[in-house]
Amino acid sequence: MGKAVLVGVVTSGNLEVMVERADLNGTCQVEVSTSAQGFGSIWQAVLDDFAARHDLADLRISINDGGATPAVVSLRLDQAMEEFLGMVS
């Protein structure tokens, strides 16, 4: 198993975020699994902000959502990166 972290729990109003190192030619891949329909543009905005805050090259980020609000999603994403970087260094 390569380097990976998992933070958060898929519970009501919360989500889990997994960050894995992957060979993606310098890009970042994000996969969001959610049963809440019609919030694509909000997810995109939250993820754009997230990408502006961190260097996400060659990372695969996978999300299982339990109906989290955008603020909770942002905090979890930052927590995941903090733990991922703490583990690598």
Partner 1 sequence: MSDLSGVHRSHSYYEASARGRLTHLLDAGSFRELLGPTERLTSPHLELLGQPCAFDDGIVIGRGRLDGRPVLVASQEGGFMGGAVGEVHGAKLTGLLELAVHEHPAAILLLLESGGVRLHEANAGLIAISEIIRALLAARAAGIPVIGLIGGIYGCFGGMGIVARCCDRLIINEEGRLGLSGPDVIETTMGVEEFDASDRALVWRTVGGKHRFLLGEVQQLVADDLAAFRTAVVEALGQPLQGLTLESLEREHQGLADRLANYGDCLDATEIWAALGLENPLQVPLLDIPTFLQVASQAGREGA
Q: What does the buried/exposed string (b/e) look like for 24-47 if buried means 16 or more CB atoms within 10 Å of the residue's CB?
A: eeeebebebebeeeeeeeebeebb
**Contact characters 12-31, partner 1, x per CB under 8 A:** --x-x-x-x-----------
Residue 33 within binding range of partner 1, rule CB under 8 A: yes
Q: Which residues pair with 30 in a beta bridge?
A: 61
State the Cα–Cα distance between residues 6 and 81, nearest whole angstrom. 10
**Contact characters 68-87, partner 1, x per CB under 8 A:** --------------------
Q: For binding to partner 1 (CB under 8 A), which residues are involved?
A: 1-2, 4, 6, 9-11, 14, 16, 18, 20, 33-35, 62, 64-66
